[in-house]
């Protein structure tokens, strides 16, 4: 899915994630993997697109192209079943049963939960009573360490929640916020643990919620698929150049 394949107007989701950067896409992946109907709405303005070469991301010893990294996160969200829509969110407002999310192209979607995962943009939250903002030269949403805001059902993830401006931190906090949402929804904790066959059942235990046991054939199949997918992404240099900072671009 490329983010444009459905008309979201009038749709209802369990959770809408505002912002398709590292934190937002990671949160969307976790929520969708746990079988929530999740939608990521993004205007394509991730700050990561300005990065010339992304360093210090776990699993990439020599770094990785930042735009390729975003492509990988988008593909992962798609494979998890997360819907994506290319649009700017102009307003979030509360409803009797959750939230209404209004986009710049005139669409409105409804959700029980909203995860705000933009960088510093907060104007779309002006219609949500009870949201506290913090001004530290840039504007952040006041949230606890796990992303809960003062409004039930509204969470903040990554940079917007005041987390350090690092890709690995944003990914980790996006995952933590999603797990927090799942806990608050009283769903079994998502362990993200795939074990060899018999790991639990061989000890007389039930497979815990969110876990899975794999036989050798299925384990090898998934590994082959993983290698093929990564080859597809890394078979050639990424075609897009980094985006320049707007103030520099205006002078050119």
SS3 per residue for the chain: CCCCCCCCCCCEEEEEEECCCHHHHHHHHHHHHCCCCEEEEECCCCHHHHCCCECCCCCCCCCECHHHHHHHHHHHHHHHCCEEEECCEEEEEEECCEEEEEECCCCEEEEEEEEECCCCCCHHHCCCCCCCEEECCCEEECCCCCCECCCCCEEECHHHHCCCCCHHHHHHHHHHHHHHHHHHCCCCCCCCEEEECCCCHHHCCCCCCCEEEECHHHHHHHHHHHHHHHHHHCCCCCCCCCCCCHHHHHHC
Report the number of distinct structural domains present in the chain.
2
Q: Is the pLDDT of residue 208 over 70?
A: yes
**To 5 degrees, how large is the angle CA 108–CA 78–CA 88?**
30
Residue 3 lies in a domain: no
pLDDT per position as a tens digit, 131-178: 999 988 889 999 999 999 999 999 999 999 999 989 999 999 999 999
Give the pLDDT band (50/70/90) at residue 189. low
Give the pLDDT band (50/70/90) at residue 98. very high
The residue among 158, 184, 210 that closes a domain is 184
Residue 30 lies in a domain: yes
Q: Is the pLDDT of residue 252 over 70?
A: no
Phi and psi, residue 210, nearest 5°: 85, -5
- Residue 146 pLDDT: 97
Beta pairing, strands 211-214 & 98-103: unpaired
Residues 243 and 159 placed together within one structural domain of the fold: no
Residues 202 and 98 placed together within one structural domain of the fold: no
Residues 220 and 162 placed together within one structural domain of the fold: no
Residues 99 and 120 placed together within one structural domain of the fold: yes
Q: Is the pLDDT of residue 120 over 90?
A: no
Residue 5 lies in a domain: no
Q: Is the pLDDT of residue 184 over 60?
A: yes
Q: Is the pLDDT of residue 29 over 50?
A: yes
The residue among 143, 161, 184 that closes a domain is 184
- Residue 250 pLDDT: 65
Q: Is the pLDDT of residue 217 over 50?
A: yes
Residue 248 lies in a domain: yes
pLDDT per position as a tens digit, 48-86: 999 999 999 999 999 999 999 999 999 999 999 999 999
Q: Is the pLDDT of residue 95 over 90?
A: yes
Residue 233 lies in a domain: yes
- Which residues are CB-contacts of 238 (< 8 A; sequence separation ≥ 6)? 65, 67, 68, 71
Give the range of the structural domain holding residue 213, as residue numbers without chain letter.
192-252
Report residue 209 CA to chain centroid gap. 22
Exposure of 34 in the CB half-sphere (CA atoms within 13 A): 25
Residues 215 and 128 placed together within one structural domain of the fold: no
What is the CATH classification number for the domain harbouring 176? 3.50.50.60
Residues 139 and 32 placed together within one structural domain of the fold: yes
Give the pLDDT band (50/70/90) at residue 210. confident
Give the pLDDT band (50/70/90) at residue 249. low
Residue 69 lies in a domain: yes
Beta pairing, strands 108-116 & 12-18: parallel
User: Whole-number mean pLDDT of the chain?
Assistant: 92
Residues 180 and 197 placed together within one structural domain of the fold: no
Residues 160 and 223 placed together within one structural domain of the fold: no
Q: At what angle do helices 167-184 and 22-33 cross, to 10 degrees?
A: 40
Q: Is the pLDDT of residue 129 over 50?
A: yes
Give the pLDDT band (50/70/90) at residue 87. very high
Give the pLDDT band (50/70/90) at residue 5. very low
Q: Closest Cα partner for 40 from 56, 52, 29?
A: 29
């Amino acid at each position: 899915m490329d983010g444009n394949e459905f008309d979201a107007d009038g749709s209802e989701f369990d959770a809408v994630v505002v912002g398709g950067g590292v934190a937002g896409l990671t949160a969307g992946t976790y929520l969708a993997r746990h079988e929530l109907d999740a939608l990521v709405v993004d205007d394509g303005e991730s700050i990561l697109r300005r990065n010339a070469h992304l360093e210090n991301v776990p699993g990439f010893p020599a770094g990785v192209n930042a735009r390729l990294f975003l492509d990988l996160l988008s593909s992962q969200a798609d494979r998890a079943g997360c819907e994506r829509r290319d649009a700017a969110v102009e307003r979030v407002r509360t409803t009797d049963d959750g939230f209404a999310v209004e986009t710049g192209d005139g669409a409105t979607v409804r959700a029980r939960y909203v995860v705000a995962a933009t960088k510093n943009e907060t104007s779309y939250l002006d219609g949500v009573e009870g949201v506290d903002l913090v001004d530290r030269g840039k504007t952040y949403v006041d949230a606890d360490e796990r992303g809960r805001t003062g409004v039930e059902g509204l969470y903040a993830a990554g940079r917007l929640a005041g987390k350090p401006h690092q890709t690995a931190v944003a990914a980790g906090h996006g995952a933590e916020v999603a797990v927090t949402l799942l806990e608050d929804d009283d769903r079994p904790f998502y362990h993200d643990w795939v074990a060899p066959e018999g790991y639990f059942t061989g000890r007389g235990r039930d497979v815990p919620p969110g876990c899975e046991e794999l036989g050798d054939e299925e384990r090898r199949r998934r590994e082959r698929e993983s290698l093929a997918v990564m080859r597809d992404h890394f078979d050639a240099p990424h075609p897009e150049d980094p985006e320049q900072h707007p103030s520099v671009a205006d002078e050119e």
